[in-house]
Amino acid sequence: MNGSHKPPVIRAGRGICSGDTILIADVGNSRIKLARLEEGEAGAAAGGSGLPVVSHRQDLDSRQFHPDNLARWLVAAAPGPAVVLVASVSEGAATRLEATLAALSVTRPSPIRQRRVGHADLPLAISLPAPERVGIDRLAAAAAARHVKPEGKPAIVVDCGTAVTVDLVAGDGTFLGGAILPGPQLMAQALASGTSQLPALVDIDWASIPAMPGRSTRDAIAAGVGYGVCGAVTRLVAEGARELGPDAVTILTGGWRALVRGSLPGAIEIPDIVLFGVALAAARACTR
């Protein structure tokens, strides 16, 4: 992977960081992903991809994380002064995270500052009329993708989260937009809530395509949802490749990406690409 942009050199002594440890948070609808941004030349711990180096990865439940879990992570990741840069697509979860950070800062010997990340913080050109209305997760993933993709080649970024996003990045790194559809769990929930007899699916791993034909109602729903999601993602990637050209690379991320992995041969897998995009925003803020 030869990124088309020079990796940033991260120094925490300038910009908003003022010598603090830099912490980053990717707040999604299901999970909050946390990490510490390391100083120095970017890319060494990311396969030379040009992405920033992060450590102390931690996941929290977006809906019901316990403050003690966050407190323990903070002690390990940033025992001294810290600044937390928060990128969020879930306002409720982000508000709770920020309130918990503020409460913990009062009881710590060293303060914690925090700041939201917006589209203007990302090193990304956005070819849309209202970039401020685009989910920060999509833009952060695109910002990281432009550092990962081969120079001059376009990219298709597939993020398999609570919602599925399939976004296009031009060869020059410009974000062009894309498509959004429900993930498998949302599809299954819609069937259960919109009908009187179809059951809710719980504890489905979605790590592989379910068997077809399904030999029970539960298995039939799993097969329909699983094949439906795979078919939709495959078609959207094909449409993206038709728009961008045959040299477009596919970048795959998200918690249930294994479900569509077999349908996207040759895709580059980067599980934390959104978090890396937030790290790029932090690196940019701390070096200007």
CB 286 within 8 A of CB 150: no
Pairing of strands 21-27, 82-88: parallel
| Active site (annotated) includes residue 59 | no
Q: Are 85 and 78 in contact (CB under 8 A)?
A: no
Question: What's the token pair of residue 109?
Answer: 């010997």
Q: H/E element holding 40?
A: strand 40-41
Alpha helices (runs of H) in 119-261, residue ranges in sequence order: 136-148, 184-194, 217-244, 258-261
Question: Strand 268-269 vs strand 249-253: parallel, antiparallel, or unpaired?
Answer: parallel
Q: Is 46 strand, coil or helix?
A: helix
Both structure tokens of 244? 């961008």
Q: Which two tokens stand for residue 111?
A: 């303060």
Catalytic residue among 26, 121, 137, 159: 137
Residues 271 and 100: their CA atoms lie apart, in Å, by: 26
Catalytic residues: 137
